[in-house]
Amino acid sequence: MKTEFTKMHLLGNDFVIIDAIHQTFKPNGKLIRQWANRQRGIGFDQLLLIEKPRPKSTHFYYRIFNANGSEVAQCGNGALCVAKFLLEKKLCAENSIQLMTMNNLLELTIEGSGKVTANLGLPIFEPEKIPFINMSPPPIHPIETPFGRFDSCVLSLGNPHCVIQVNCLDQVPVEDLGTYLNQHPHPYFPQGCNVEFMKIRDPKQIDLRIYERGVGETQACGSGACAAVIAGRLLNRLTKKVNVNLPGGLLTVRWEGEKSPVFLRGTPAKVYEGSID
């Protein structure tokens, strides 16, 4: 049986989106890994599923699978693409959409310009909820690795993030350190983490490279951009609204401060539609 899908991206962070309401699709890790292969499959960073709402007070249930087949709880750029997908497919007539993930409610607003803003909720800093194992007081946690000692800011936005401030992005061991911090089991991150390498240009602008758990380095990552801005704000280095420069382009993040949700804004794009066995 063929499965219909839509390929979308936001700044090169690419996704396959499947409407699992109007067709039957049961995800499994082996199939997702095959489809994610960029030489022999479709190629994508994440596969996103739209299902019937759980609970019914929301619009849809939103599931996220990394390229390695693992299911995760958050993907900010993916949520922005899903909002555009739902509007274009006429699956939702409203410009404000609520998506429920396995552990978080996302609120998305679609603008007439084509940009989408996502409320990704409150950041989580309690180590046991991230989860993160470290005895040092927040917001800075020293992490010892084979590649050196790194001072990091650790938080969760539904998925774990480890933000490291650097002076030069060209010289950071993105793949090596990202792979090391995602080995299982790991003394710091029992469930792995996204690793963000942040260079602060000025209080309103940062440069960022990201290693995504279960994927590797990507062109962009919405929740990673949000985590980096939150870390910079906790260090009193950034303003409430920040432009985040990624290899794929620009995202905008706004965070008022502790006890406030974080907002992500970007422009998703459709690449093509297709079907696959």
pLDDT tens digits for range 216-258: 999 999 999 999 999 999 999 999 999 999 999 999 999 999 8
Q: Report, as residue numbers or ranges, the catalytic residues.
A: 75, 221
Q: Which residue ranges form the domains of the chain, and what is each CATH number?
A: 3-111+268-276 (3.10.310.10), 127-260 (3.10.310.10)
Mutual orientation of helices 76-88 and 222-234 as an angle, nearest 10°? Answer: 140
> If we measure between CA atoms, which residue out of 72, 90, 85 comes closest to residue 8?
85
- The tens digit of pLDDT for each residue in 79-117 reads 999 999 999 999 998 899 999 999 899 999 999 899 999
Provide the pairing of β-strand 241-246 with 249-255. Answer: antiparallel
- The tens digit of pLDDT for each residue in 123-158 reads 999 999 999 998 788 788 999 999 999 999 999 999
Phi, psi of 93 (to 5 degrees): -90, -5
